[in-house]
Structure 1
Amino acid sequence: MKINENISQKWLEIIQKEKNKEYFKNIEKKINEDIKSGITIYPPIENIFNAFEKTAFEDIKVIILGQDPYHRPGQAQGFCFSVPEGMKLPPSLKNIYKEINNSLQIDNKNNGDLTSWTKEGVFLLNAILTVQAGNPASHSKIGWEKFSDEIIKIISLEHEKVIFLLWGAFAISKKSLIDTNKHIVLESPHPSPFSAHRGFLGNNHFKKTNEILKSWGKKEIDWKV
């Protein structure tokens, strides 16, 4: 798995260190076996580390933690919840936009590409970075969870004052990796249609995030895409 040259030096060092570990070699082995078997992998191999390339380590202000990439053609971009502009909005992203509109009166309904958020310091991390086409969660348990856990721990250790948005039981289970004495964790149910009405809608996370950033003297996130 090639890391693109435009990634920040800090990310390059972190990822390279993990790539040298045995568990990561197992990840690469599994992905290579799938490709040799004719299985399509999402996102495209060159976009696997897109979240890291879009948001430099030093620029992180907010982290949104997803689970694994979209498994339909053309959707996965290498950062969570986002789809390319012009692509039909996935149900969870629709509810994310609904919450943003309800709390901040920002209407993003026609564009699912969250690249602009990544440039604002929002790190859109999937816990599992790859998936087989048409086969959700197919690359869970191959080692990606260990990788993303390490990333969360490093951010928690080396950063000050980051806001973590944890939606749903899977994301909330990562709270133990975060030093809550120096970071803020906001939790709620997942934006999926199955759970959004149980507390995601109305959680005010996007509004609260900007209020917290402002209180820290940091620039607020422009949630408009």
Structure 2
Amino acid sequence: MNASAKPVYMLDFMPDDWREAVTPYVDPTTVAALSSFVVEEYKAGPVYPRKQDIYAAYRLSPLASTRVLILGQDPYIKPGQAHGLSFSVPQGVRVPPSLENVYREMRDDLGVTPPPSGDLTPWCRQGVMLLNAVLTVRAGTSNSHKGRGWENVTDATIQALNAKTDRVVFVLWGAAAKAKAHLVTNDRHVVLRAGHPSPMNPTGFLGSRPFSRINAALTATGTQPIRWSPSMPRPS
């Protein structure tokens, strides 16, 4: 990097609506340190997701339309899987084991056929934000970017959603996600907790019926339910 070049600041690449909303909650010093770390990691590479997909969850779920947050841990660590959305993989990529369990629970909960692909972008377009607590990862090494500052940004994201006046359903799967529940203080919102859907966790997720519970929380305030699968009827 040219010595006279302006240092990279990661929030500058976040969509405008989200950047404005999270800025009051972040620590600029933490974000500056995170930015330097991320730049060097991508230089050393490989790092997932692609740079242009780091903020995919924000781009696909504008603040004003976000009504559900599903919180993951960090991106997938294998080539071709991570595309900036928690639990989701691009079209044509084999459905990972955790998402297989999510789809199994969808079938049991709603009695519908799960989507044919692991690409959950259609959820995002209905106001479901698929956010990881840590937005980047070194290839092959889970949690390799944990504790480097992304948590400050994603905690601020939860706080920005908490400040909304219309209902948001926060879906926290696993111990790390459930530890974020204290950030949701607005009584209008709903927090749903369950075990992580990973096959490594044999209890606590299957049978939790998150999809019907999310839709019930939305319709209770007159909001359209989420169409989780193409096999579900379209909302009237």
After TM superposition, the score normalised by the length of structure 1 is 0.91
| Aligned match for 1:137, one of 135, 139, 143 | 143
Q: Deviations over 1:31-73 (max 9, x none)?
A: 1112333x21100011100000001100011110001000110
Q: Is the 8 A contact 1:94 1:109 kept in 2?
A: no
Cα distance between partner residues in 1 of 2:97 and 2:216: 27
SS at match of 1:165: strand
CA drift at 1:207: 0.7
| Aligned match for 2:31, one of 5, 10, 24 | 24
Q: Is the 8 A contact 2:162 2:185 kept in 1?
A: yes
Number of residues of Structure 1 aligned to a counterpart in Structure 2: 220
Cα distance between partner residues in 1 of 2:39 and 2:22: 18
Runs of 4+ in 1 over 6 A off after TM superposition: 16-20
Cα distance between partner residues in 1 of 2:31 and 2:40: 14
Cα distance between partner residues in 2 of 1:178 and 1:71: 29
Tell me which residue corresponds to 1:33. 40
- Across the aligned residues of Structure 1 and Structure 2, the Cα RMSD in angstroms comes to 1.8
The amino acid that maps onto 1:127 is A
Describe how 1:103-114 pairs up with structure 2 within 5 A: 103-108=109-114, 110-114=116-120
Describe how 1:1-150 pairs up with structure 2 within 5 A: 1=10, 3=13, 7=15, 9-14=16-21, 21-37=28-44, 39-108=45-114, 110-150=116-156
Tell me which residue corresponds to 1:224. 229
Cα distance between partner residues in 2 of 1:18 and 1:212: 27
Q: Against the structure 1 CA distance between its residues 17 and 180, is the aligned structure 2 distance closer, same or farther, given a 3 Å change threshold? A: closer
Cα distance between partner residues in 2 of 1:26 and 1:170: 23
Task: List gaps (5 residues or longer) in structure 2.
Answer: 1-9, 231-236
The amino acid that maps onto 1:224 is S
Task: List gaps (5 residues or longer) in structure 1.
Answer: none
Q: Taking every aligned residue pair, what percent have the same amino acid on both sides?
A: 38
Cα distance between partner residues in 1 of 2:115 and 2:217: 26
Question: Does 1:171 pair with 2:182?
Answer: no
Question: Does 1:200 pair with 2:210?
Answer: no
SS at match of 1:158: coil
After TM superposition, the score normalised by the length of structure 2 is 0.87
Question: Does 1:210 pair with 2:220?
Answer: no
The amino acid that maps onto 1:199 is G
SS at match of 2:171: strand
Cα distance between partner residues in 2 of 1:208 and 1:19: 31
CA drift at 1:210: 0.9
Q: Deviations over 1:76-115 (max 9, x none)?
A: 1111000011111111100000000111122226300000
Cα distance between partner residues in 1 of 2:160 and 2:115: 34
Tell me which structure has the larger Cα radius of gyration. Answer: 2
Cα distance between partner residues in 1 of 2:120 and 2:193: 21
